[in-house]
Amino acid sequence: MLIVHTKEDARRWAQDQLAAGRTSGLVPTMGALHEGHYSLVRRSRERCDVTVATIFVNPTQFAPHEDLSRYPRTVEEDLQGLRACGADAVFVPAADSMYLPGHSTYVDPPEVAAPLEGICRPGHFRGVATVVLKLMHILPTTHAFFGQKDFQQAAVIRTMVRELDLAVEIDVAPIVRDPDGLAMSSRNRYLSAEERSRALALSRALDEASRIVAGGEKDGTAIEAAMRRVLTEAAVDEIEYATVADPVTLAGLRRIAGPVVALIAARVGSTRLIDNRVLADH
């Protein structure tokens, strides 16, 4: 597995793949890798000739009140894991090389970035869209892989790629969960055993939403109330949102009449967790 640290070496690798007529998959990550990330690498390997992962804790996607320095960094283990699952190359830029001093150019993200995470994490998607666009230019691949875990992020990137005419195919992979249902996240390592058991309420609340929608419930408010009940009974510390939305626009739905996604953001202890499920797709 080739490990590159500079933008020039990364671009050269990606351009060589294109020149050789190979399809290539980009898997952007912030490191602290787990099976969710590795599933993206495997998916890319199934669909593309070669796969490159990136590890970069992107400072511009952290809102001012969020602690960038607290984000877990486990690069040596990450490289071992990427090697084990067959990545061909990894781009690990030095922290200060992605944004030059005085950097001032940002992507103004699309409308779909406005609700939910856009409200809770001001500026987050501006940073995400900017770094993903930069990575796509540094590593011009034919495909790029993202997880449904970050449902709104995937919608933002799909829209950006379409609206800015980027020549990359976006693939969104299913959420990988621990056997108890908890969606895998780099942040789960911060949960104590007690917090972890309360955190299971997120996937249980989505189970409940799924169950009542399958039973014919069409009222968005009733579905939201059912999810909040599960979260409150489990004593999560704060519900930022627990809502049902249109899977394309992420606009809230008062009445279900077609595809719908349930999305939750909640705090357990000081850890912020997100999860989601597509409930009906007809």
Spot the catalytic one: 34, 37, 124, 143.
Answer: 37
Q: Is 62 in the site for ligand AMP (CB under 6 A)?
A: no
Is 103 a catalytic site residue? no
DSSP string computed for 102-120? T--------GGGSSTHHHH
Q: Which two tokens stand for residue 81?
A: 């894991």
Q: Is 183 in the site for ligand AMP (CB under 6 A)?
A: yes
Q: What does the DSSP 8-state code read for residue 60?
A: G
Residue partners of 229: CB distance under 8 A and separation at least 6: 208
Query: How many helices (H) and strands (E) in the chain?
Result: 8, 9
Q: Decide the pairing of beta strands 260-268 and 238-245.
A: antiparallel
Between residue 12 and residue 31, which ones bind ligand AMP under the rule CB under 6 A?
29-30
Instruction: Find the distance separating the first CA and the last CA of the chain, reported in whole Å.
Output: 42
Nearer to ligand AMP among residue 174 and residue 258 (C-beta): 174
Q: Residues binding ligand AMP: what is the number (CB under 6 A)? A: 17
What's the closest the beta carbon of residue 207 comes to ligand AMP, in angstroms? 17
Q: Is 243 in the site for ligand AMP (CB under 6 A)?
A: no
CA 258 to chain centre: 24
Q: Which two tokens stand for residue 101?
A: 């001093």
Please pick, from the candidates 37, 143, 228, 272, the single residue that binds ligand AMP as defined by CB under 6 A: 37
Please pick, from the candidates 39, 54, 60, 188, the single residue that binds ligand AMP as defined by CB under 6 A: 39
Nearer to ligand AMP among residue 52 and residue 183 (C-beta): 183
| Residue 101: CB atoms within 10 Å | 5
Please pick, from the candidates 10, 113, 116, 184, the single residue that binds ligand AMP as defined by CB under 6 A: 184
What are the catalytic residues? Answer: 37
- Positions that interact with ligand AMP (CB under 6 A): 29-30, 36-37, 39-40, 146-147, 149-150, 173, 175-176, 183-186
